[in-house]
């Protein structure tokens, strides 16, 4: 599913999260390569989230292919889709080819740019039933 990123260029992949008629529909998205510098090719939202237990996964569809992500990420994408419909995201677990160590290292070095150039950043802390409200209350005491 991954198109090779040019080595000496500041590029990354964006995930186009497709809307769905029902929130129970499987999460489906496509990947697009984007130039990051000097300015991003298009507006995007960066997602910051807790990966959760890496052994607990759910399948999403990426470029028409089944792709395993952590259950927490799948839930975050589902909730974002419910709130925003189709949206363009940068999500580390999907935007970066995690099996390509060279690419992963290069992309990690670009994360400051990726987050700072995002139109918005969503911090996913989970559903309220999993302590989300308590986490927000605790944040106020820091």
Q: Flag whether pLDDT at 135 surpasses 80.
A: no
Please indicate, yes or no, if residue 78 is contained in any of the structural domains.
Answer: yes
Domain that holds residue 129: 11-139
pTM over 0.75: yes
Q: Is residue 135 part of a domain?
A: yes
DSSP 48-91: EE----TTSEEEEEETTEEEEEEHHHHHHHHHHHHHHSSEEEE-
Number of domains in the chain: 1
H or E, element range at 6: none
- Average pLDDT of the segment spanning 107-117: 94
Q: List, for residues 43-97, the tens digit of each pLDDT value.
A: 999 999 988 889 999 999 999 999 999 999 999 999 999 999 999 999 999 999 9
Identify whether 6 is part of a domain.
no
Domain contains 57: yes
Is the sign of the CA dihedral 89, 20, 124, 106 positive or negative?
negative
Cβ atoms of 120 and 114 within 8 Å: the answer is no
């Amino acid at each position: 599913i991954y198109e090779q990123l040019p080595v000496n260029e500041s590029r990354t992949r964006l995930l186009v999260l497709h809307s769905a008629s029902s929130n129970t529909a499987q999460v489906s998205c496509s990947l697009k390569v984007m130039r990051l510098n000097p300015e991003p090719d298009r507006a995007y939202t960066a997602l910051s989230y807790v990966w959760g237990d890496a052994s607990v996964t759910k399948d999403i569809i990426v470029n028409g292919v089944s792709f395993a992500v952590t259950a927490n990420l799948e839930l975050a994408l589902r909730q974002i889709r419910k709130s925003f419909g189709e949206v363009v995201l940068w999500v580390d677990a999907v935007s970066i080819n995690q099996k390509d160590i060279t690419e992963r290292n290069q992309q990690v070095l670009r994360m400051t740019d990726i987050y700072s150039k995002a139109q918005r950043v969503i911090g996913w802390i989970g559903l309220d039933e999993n302590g989300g409200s308590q986490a927000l209350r605790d944040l106020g005491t820091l």
